[in-house]
A and B are shown apart, each in its own frame.
Chain A
Amino acid sequence: MVKLHIHRERSIESLLREHTGIILKVCAMYCRRSSGPRGGAMCEAVPPFVSNTSGTRRGNEWREEVSDLFQEIALNLVESWPQYRGQCSESTWVYRVATNVAISNLRRFSTRRIVLVDESTLDRLETETSNDTVERLYRRIDRLSDDERQLMTYAIGKVPLKEVAEIMGLTEDAVKHRMQRTKEKLRNMKDDYEE
């Protein structure tokens, strides 16, 4: 196995600067849609999401959740960095740590903010995930199992199949098969408000 060159002297800032995109994506995948930008069930007459300045309660809860998870992932990345041996690409490692944190649902620092995401990023993230089609897809993803959601995260993040197989302890064929099945499941799933 070819080991990658690892810069041991990484600061939390440089790790975050490089991988903010992955962390935001994992936050979007895992932060509950029930308290998401648009709030509860889709059948409710919820006004379209306007930026945070409107101060919708559910929107604020979702932003809080995103900020908490973002921070937790960032802190875990810094803590786990010394254990990173370069067995996979750095971005795969970030995906792995981030999804593990999201699944384990740790919230150690929820009352104390150490890592701060600027408001305009949260505004843009909220608007982006409030896009009708995207939000519907996320609502469907919310109903997947942990494994299925993790697989989808890796699939959309274009994590190499071989590395996904290693992370999930499966063969490449099994990963491919499960990814296909999960996509099929998503496609055939009814939206929650249709049920």
Chain B
Amino acid sequence: MTMKNNDDILEVLEQHWERMDEIAEQSHVSVVRWHLPESPRRWVRSIAASVAAIAIGAALLLTKVPQPDGLYASNLSHRSEAIEAINEISMSIL
């Protein structure tokens, strides 16, 4: 392609963008409301918090240790194991 002068490039693109304005005028853009609370970031944060809560709960269950009284308690010495479990569960949920 040969360009006669600098202005040609801008001219071609400007005309093309004018046509894009016409396309935009006739376009129809819709927003799916139920996916979008007041802030997408807040929405992502709330999902992440839910995932983390489920993961922590599941990890506690997985690392539970039987106690003499017949109940179960999460063993703190299993902390690294719990963190690993939380990570794995979060990743599989996401």
What would be 21 A-B contacts, judged by CB atoms less than 8 Å apart? A13-B31, A20-B24, A21-B24, A74-B31, A108-B40, A108-B44, A112-B35, A114-B35, A114-B40, A115-B31, A118-B29, A118-B30, A121-B26, A121-B28, A134-B12, A134-B16, A136-B1, A156-B13, A184-B6, A186-B3, A187-B8
* 8 Å CB contact of B3 from A125, A134, A180, A187: A187
The count of chain B contact residues (Cβ–Cβ below 8 Å) is 31
- A114 near B36: Cβ-Cβ < 8 Å: yes
Whose C-beta in chain B lies nearest to the C-beta of A136?
A: B1
The 6 A-B pairs with the shortest beta carbon distances in the complex, nearest first, are A21-B24, A121-B27, A20-B24, A118-B28, A183-B6, A187-B3
* 8 Å CB contact of B6 from A78, A116, A187: A187
Tell me the chain B residues, 8-34 only, with Cβ under 8 Å from chain A.
8-10, 12-14, 16-17, 19-21, 23-32
Whose C-beta in chain B lies nearest to the C-beta of A76?
A: B40
The answer to whether the Cβ of B39 comes within 8 Å of any Cβ in the partner chain is yes
Extra A-B contacts (7), CB below 8 Å, given A78-B40, A115-B32, A128-B16:
A21-B23, A108-B44, A112-B35, A114-B35, A137-B13, A187-B5, A187-B8
- B19 near A186: Cβ-Cβ < 8 Å: no
* 8 Å CB contact of B10 from A109, A116, A155: A155
Secondary structure class of chain B's binding surface, majority of residues: helix
The answer to whether the Cβ of A24 comes within 8 Å of any Cβ in the partner chain is yes
* B-side contacts of A115, CB under 8 Å: 29-32
- B27 near A20: Cβ-Cβ < 8 Å: yes
The answer to whether the Cβ of A133 comes within 8 Å of any Cβ in the partner chain is yes
- A133 near B12: Cβ-Cβ < 8 Å: yes
* A-side contacts of B36, CB under 8 Å: 12, 114
The answer to whether the Cβ of A16 comes within 8 Å of any Cβ in the partner chain is yes
The answer to whether the Cβ of A143 comes within 8 Å of any Cβ in the partner chain is no
CA distance A70 to B13 in the complex (A): 20
Say how far A107's CB is from chain B's closest CB, in angstroms: 13
